[in-house]
Amino acid sequence: MEKKKKIRIAGVVAAVLFIAVAAAGSLSRSDSVRKLYQEPRVAVIRVNGPIVGGDDADMAWGSPSSTTSGALMRQFRKARQDDSVQAVLLRVNSPGGSAAATQEAAAELQKLKDSGKPVVVSMGDTAASGAYWLAAYGDKIYANPSTITGSIGVYMSYYDVQGLSEKLGVREEKIKSGPHKDIFSPFRPMTEEERRLTQNMVDDMYEQFVAVVAEQRHMDGETVRSLADGRVFTGVQAKEAGLVDELGNYYDALGYAGTLIHADPDKVATVTYDDAFSWDQLLSGRITAPSLAEGLYEAGQRIPFPLIIWKGGRQQ
């Protein structure tokens, strides 16, 4: 009985401590407290791995290998609403991803820019295809000399296993409401009309991509189109083509962002809006009990399709 009593007491103490820390963290991020701390800061937002649709709550207890549009939109929104943030550094290390996911994240990024906060982009190993779509919104883009970027293009893929299924004696039977309902069926060849319909979709998204790059980079549409055949560029080549502005690493980009908020380039105050849970975030007030609960109970990640992604040295 004495042991059980001690366990109950320990449980109560742990629960009270958890609530107290969470409440303190929430208070430290409240508007009233933030007003007492007005040092200008740069919000650092990272795009790591493929850009996929949906939310990242299902990744809350691990290291995500991709970036969701939901996480990006939340961070862009927080940076826009945070009065202490006067500039944003977008760190990109991604081959691209879902066209729709990239586009909805970009829409929130545009709202951030419209609020008057400049966006500086730092490219890592790769910032290609859909990742370049996002990077193009930067007021100034930094790339390393060997960064892989560009790959401006769109693709939609499907598998054709008809030959294999015939060898295995497997046949698909279906009842459909219209002739194109199974347009991407792997058990039959695509008709010429279906190929034309699909190509029209890809071409439409491609033109949207070109329009974004032309507008954000202040380039002529035909000039962008001449570069937008799916090829990739090194950072040096991209600078020569007008797709990036400067050659430099993360700290060069951060230092420049610091000058925009009149800070010492070597001592720039930063803030991040991490969605993944860690005890450091809890103790520092960067995550609260409600957001933790939300991360534990929400799940769902959609498959990116169609894609604007560069992979394995070739446009996919």
Residues involved in catalysis: 129, 181
CA distance 159 to 18: 50
End-to-end Cα distance, the chain: 65
Give the largest CA-CA distance in the chain.
Answer: 81
Tokens of 135: 């990077």
CA distance 61 to 46: 18
Per residue, what are the HEC states of the chain? CHHHHHHHHHHHHHHHHHHHHHHHHHHHCCHHHHCCCCCCEEEEEEEECCEECECCHHHCCCCCCCEEHHHHHHHHHHHHHCCCEEEEEEEEEECEEEHHHHHHHHHHHHHHHHCCCCEEEEEEEEEECHHHHHHCCCCEEEECCCCEEECCCCECCCCCCHHHHHHHCCCCCCCCCCCCCCCCCCCCCCCHHHHHHHHHHHHHHHHHHHHHHHHHHCCCHHHHHHHCCCCEECHHHHHHHCCCCEECCHHHHHHHHHHHCCCCCCCCCEECCCCCCCHHHHHHCCCCHHHHHHHHHCCCECCCCCEEEEECCEEC
CA distance 91 to 227: 23
